[in-house]
Structure 1
Amino acid sequence: MAVEKMLKFVTVGRDMPQKRPAEARRLDFLEIYGDFAQPKAAEQASRCSQCGVPYCQAHCPVYHNIPDWLRLTAEGRLQEAYEIAQAANNFPEFTGRICPQDRLCEGNCVIEQAGHGTVTIGSVERYITDNAWNQGWVKPIRPAQERPESVGIIGAGPAGLAAADTLRRAGLQVTVYDRHDRAGGLLTYGIPGFKLEKDVVMRRIDQLRDGGVEFVLDCNVGETLTFDAIRGRHDAVLIATGVYKSRDIEGEGSQARGIVRAIDYLTASNRKQFGDEVPEFDSGELDASGKRVVVIGGGDTAMDCVRTAIRQGAASVKCLYRRDRANMPGSQREVANAEEEGVEFVWLSAPEGFVGDAVEGVKVQRMRLGAPDTTGRRSPEPMGEVVLEGADLVVKALGFEPEPLPALWATPGLEVTRWGTIRAQFGSGQTSLDGVFAAGDIVRGASLVVWAIRDGRDCAGAILSYLNQSATAVAAE
């Protein structure tokens, strides 16, 4: 019986794919985890308890049918396992690598709560998807029937790509517009290769292109092409631009040379990995080699920056965060990886100012945790003690805010919230403009890739409903 292959968490211990030694992975931008072999993937999948209420699934933004594809993996039915995973998640090869499973599915695994160690869900997801690519099971999209309606998608990040995939499978004509020269958004230029190698992203882009999705790149809406022109070309439009405006730091000397934005720093590094010419990197401005690097922030972007600086050969790398380790927003797994690679975390520290016309140091205010704020997290309070941290390069990784799209696109009718995100109906993504939808970070604020995929899928469904109703109305006239 199939159940005999499951429920082995009592006799089989939790195991992860082998992690490359820190001294080796400091030298390159390759992913740090090896691959499961099929027997090991089946073994780890067999630890699933197949519980009646799967908390792993309930805490997954795309509501992944995790117990089923774990069972199929344990039984060796790998193509079926991939098909189940793909049905709920357009890009399981991405989420298997970069989801914070420790906070989502794995962090809520029932056997983890019982003390047996969580099922290694993310590693199995990565295995079955990579195996599907290797076996040729991932095919270009071939809709059962083509439809004449077209949809324009602004933004080739995870939300836009998920929507493009979903809409193209329904037979719609899909065009994706993006400001960069490669599609993928933060998957391509924001997330370093040691978490998500770029051939994995480009492989999926090629699959979408082979399936009929058209990409218009180097297209900065509002400059290269107006928003109204895009609306005129399509029956519906989806805005999935993400949020790229960096939160800034105030204080004495904050405009000094050598203080840079995380997005600029990471983009330059990723472009170099593609072999591009990057003048800001080649000049040394965005290269950490030989420098004392200080990264300010405690989220996943900060973790990407500190680990990138290590690989660029920084003399030292420190991460300043105003709360303690237990209250940081970034993945604890990423913190542990960074520490192994040589990053020093300076907890309960906030920048107060900077020294030097070309930055030479950061004035750091020591903090303590006070009463909880409105989110329930204890608020940092200054202690009155200021110390100087030497620095030749300071990276601001304080999060991202939306760009003022109505002004940039000369579209005042596009309503936004008080936070600057696009005002859109919950679930459908319908904006204040007829036939215009929005999804991903530009609606919810800076968040996870898996949430962007979920939003893109949901919005694609709403666009299909909108176009179906429009077609019905036309037929009734």
Structure 2
Amino acid sequence: MASGKMLQFISVGRDMPEKRTAEERREDFGEIYRDFAATKAEEQASRCSQCGVPYCQSHCPLHNNIPDWLRLTASDRLQEAYEISQATNTFPEICGRICPQDRLCEGNCVIEQSGHGTVTIGAVEKYITDTAWENGWVQPIAPSAERTESVGIIGAGPGGLACADVLRRAGVQVTVYDRYDRAGGLLTYGIPGFKLEKDVVMRRIEQLEKGGVTFRLNCNVGDDISFAEIRETHDAVLIATGVYKTRDLQGPGSGAAGIVNAIDYLTASNRKSFGDDVPEFDSGELNAEGKKVVVIGGGDTAMDCVRTAIRQGATSVKCLYRRDRENMPGSQREVANAEEEGVEFVWLSAPKGFAGDRVERVMVQTMRLGQPDATGRRVPEIVEGADYVEEADLVVKALGFEPEDLTALWGVEGLEVTRWGTVMADFQTHETSLPGVYACGDIQRGASLVVWAIRDGREAADAMLAQFASKAAVAAE
């Protein structure tokens, strides 16, 4: 395929990188897909139709120039492909691994709509950037000139890191404050290794550090440093804390031991993979080994939890979701992977209560889908008289996340929030009600995708740079 001929979708079928067998996958936390070989990546990239209106690009939150880097990959011009890929995406190798391509770029591929099977965009994106790392094309940030402006970023997740990257490339002085001992946010502690191996995240953190980004870790804003102090120290501040407050369960027995939050469960597992001392895991509190596990929820976090429990050696893993398969928010690809690995999905079911001082049973209500609500989704309704019981030694709540009350935690006045508790900010400039303070990612839009956080962080950086330029122009008059 070195000739770079395109439109091969008629004669070449869709092909993903080889997937390790379910038996292999259950034994470790390694990523489940093997790497593309160069010839296979070129072949699959050549299937792109190079259509005049690339829906893959328009449905990507970052509007990545996908057709161009597919064409360059098919022509064995990988370094150029990487340069185009990273021009719009701070972390293409991460998005290639964890973006729900089936809902975004690949799900809107023109040849998919015509019945030929989508181009494997995510796998090629991952291949391009992994190859770039292997060949030393990914270099530390080296701005052409240093600037005097300083920005403080609260939160070292994907939104904050994307903003830091853009600002440092422009020469701005950047300090990132984060409550955890490692940067990365959910990339580091929330997403399991079988979707995103941690060395992939750590090498990006190292690249940012070598490029001049300062990280203040184990730093809890409101305790170790005040929000006011951060504002006084920097010319602009970005709030990129994410949302970590777990939506709670109601019903009798919902406070029993053995009912845990998804974020606590996943963080313990990821810390263990780093070799950390994790007493809650070692005691069995956050470890599924030998247990009957029930996970409640139908999003990507629930998929992460059920697949983690399988790898920890649970005797059974069931996922309760109150809607059906077609109406679940999680990736269908992830559901299929989980089923292959031994997870049982119990559709149209919701917990009614729990039995045991340490949870032993979940009382389950059978549901049906009624009429659509204002959003167009059919509303789950209880089927009377159809309750039943699931045995469980560990119940994981994966019901989604809500924002913490930052105004109370940080003692800040004048920061406007929405009725959902998210920080109110402009969705283009990301400016908040406080001068010089911006917000991005989940703390602005609610729990969402990593790719949206990256977009927000990049947009916030651009808005800050425009504001700095405007101030400099006024000062020069």
Residue of structure 2 in register with 1:95 after alignment: 95
Q: Deviations over 1:130-163 (max 9, x none)?
A: 0000000000000011101110000000000000
CA distance in 2 between counterparts of 1:355 and 1:466 reads 57
Aligned to 1:442: 443
Q: The residue matched to 1:266 in structure 2 has which SS?
A: helix
> Who is 2:304 aligned against?
304
Partner residue in 2 for 1:202: 202
Amino acid at match of 2:19: K
Aligned to 2:137: 137
CA distance in 1: counterparts of 2:374 and 2:135, whole angstroms: 50
Deviations 1:158-199 (A, max 9, x none): 000000000000110000000000000000000000000000
Q: Distance in 2 between matches of 1:316 and 1:27?
A: 15
d(CA) in 1 for partners of 2:227, 2:475? 25
The one-letter amino acid of 2:226's match is: T
Specify the alignment match of 1:336 in structure 2. Answer: 336
Whole-angstrom distance in 2 between the partners of 1:87 and 1:421: 29
Normalising by structure 2, report the TM-score: 0.99
Tell me the residue number matched to 2:44: 44
Q: Which residue of 2 aligns with 1:468?
A: 469
Amino acid at match of 2:476: A
Query: 1:198-220 deviations in whole A, cap 9, x for unaligned?
Result: 00000000000000000000001
Matched, 1:178 2:168: no
> In structure 2, what is the Cα distance between the partners aligned to 1:215 and 1:342?
40
1:3 CA drift (Å):
8.9
| Secondary structure of 2:382 counterpart | strand
What letter matches 1:281 in structure 2? F
Conservation of the 8 A alpha-carbon contact between 2:321 and 2:348? yes
Give deviations 1:36-85, integer Å, cap 9, x for gaps.
01110000000000000000001000000000000000000000000000
Structure 2 match to 1:188: 188
Look up the SS of the partner of 2:35 in the other structure: coil
d(CA) in 2 for partners of 1:245, 1:4 = 49
Report how far residue 4 of structure 1 moved.
6.1
Deviation at 1:116, TM superposition (A): 0.3
- The Cα of 1:469 is off from its aligned counterpart by 1.6
What amino acid is aligned across from residue 471 of structure 2 in structure 1?
S
Provide the TM-score with structure 1 as the length reference.
0.99
Q: Does 1:107 align with 2:98?
A: no
Does the 8 Å CA contact 2:4/2:76 hold for their aligned counterparts? no
Determine what percentage of the aligned residue pairs are the same residue.
76
Q: Which amino acid aligns with 1:243?
A: V
The 2-side partners of 1:7 and 1:131 are apart by 24
Q: Is the 8 A contact 2:4 2:71 kept in 1?
A: no
Q: Look up the match of 2:373.
A: 373
C-alpha distance after superposition, 1:17-37 (max 9, x if no partner): 000000011010000000001
User: 2: CA distance between counterparts of 1:414 and 1:282?
Assistant: 41
CA shift at 1:475, angstroms? 2.7
Q: Give the letter aligned to residue 443 of structure 1.
A: Q
Moved more, 411-420 or 325-334: 411-420
How is 1:77-92 mapped onto 2 (pairs within 5 angstroms)? Answer: 77-92=77-92
Shift, 1:369, TM fit = 0.6
CA RMSD after TM alignment: 1.0
Q: What's the counterpart of residue 358 of structure 2?
A: 358
Structure 1 position 470, deviation (Å)? 1.9
Matched with 1:451 is 452
In structure 2, the partner of 1:396 is 397
Rounded to whole Å, the distance in 1 between the matches of 2:467 and 2:407 is: 23
CA positional deviation for 1:467: 1.4
Q: Distance in 1 between matches of 2:361 and 2:128?
A: 47
The aligned residue for residue 120 of structure 1 is: 120
Q: Which amino acid aligns with 1:376?
A: G
Counterpart residue number, 1:432: 433
The alignment partner of 2:430 has SS state of coil
Mapped contact 2:366–2:382 kept (Cα < 8 A): yes
Task: Give, in whole Å, the separation in 2 of the partners of 1:473 and 1:279.
Answer: 56
Structure 1, residues 321-354: CA drift from partner, whole Å, max 9, x if none?
0000000000000000000000000000001100
Could you say what secondary structure the match of 1:12 adopts? coil
Find the aligned partners of 2:158 and 2:270 in 1 and give their Cα distance: 17
Helix, strand or coil for the counterpart of 1:9? helix
Corresponding residue SS for 2:365: strand
Distance in 1 (CA, whole Å) between partners of 2:448 and 2:237 is 22
Helix, strand or coil: the match of 2:387? Answer: strand
**SS of equivalent residue, structure 2 residue 295:** strand
**Tell me, what secondary structure is at the counterpart of 2:97?**
helix
* AA matched with 1:32: I
Higher mean C-alpha displacement, 225-234 vs 463-472: 463-472
What is the number of residues matched between the two proteins? 476
Greater alpha carbon shift after TM alignment, 463-472 vs 443-452:
463-472
Gaps of 5+ in 2: none
One-letter identity of the residue aligned with 1:314: A
1:416 paired with 2:422, answer: no
User: Quick one: distance in 1 between partners of 2:259 and 2:151?
Assistant: 40
- The aligned runs of 1:17-28 (5 Å cut-off) are 17-28=17-28
Mapped partners of 1:466, 1:225: distance in 2: 26
Check conservation: 2:2, 2:42, Cα contact below 8 A: no
Superposed CA deviations along residues 98-149 of structure 1, whole A, max 9, x for unmatched, are 0000000000000000000000000000000000000000000000111011
- Conserved 8 A contact 2:26-2:311: yes
SS in structure 2 of the partner of residue 363 of structure 1: strand
Residue 5 of structure 1 aligns to a residue whose secondary structure is: coil
Q: Residue 461 of structure 2 aligns to which amino acid in structure 1?
A: A
Q: What secondary structure is seen at the aligned counterpart in 2 of 1:442?
A: helix
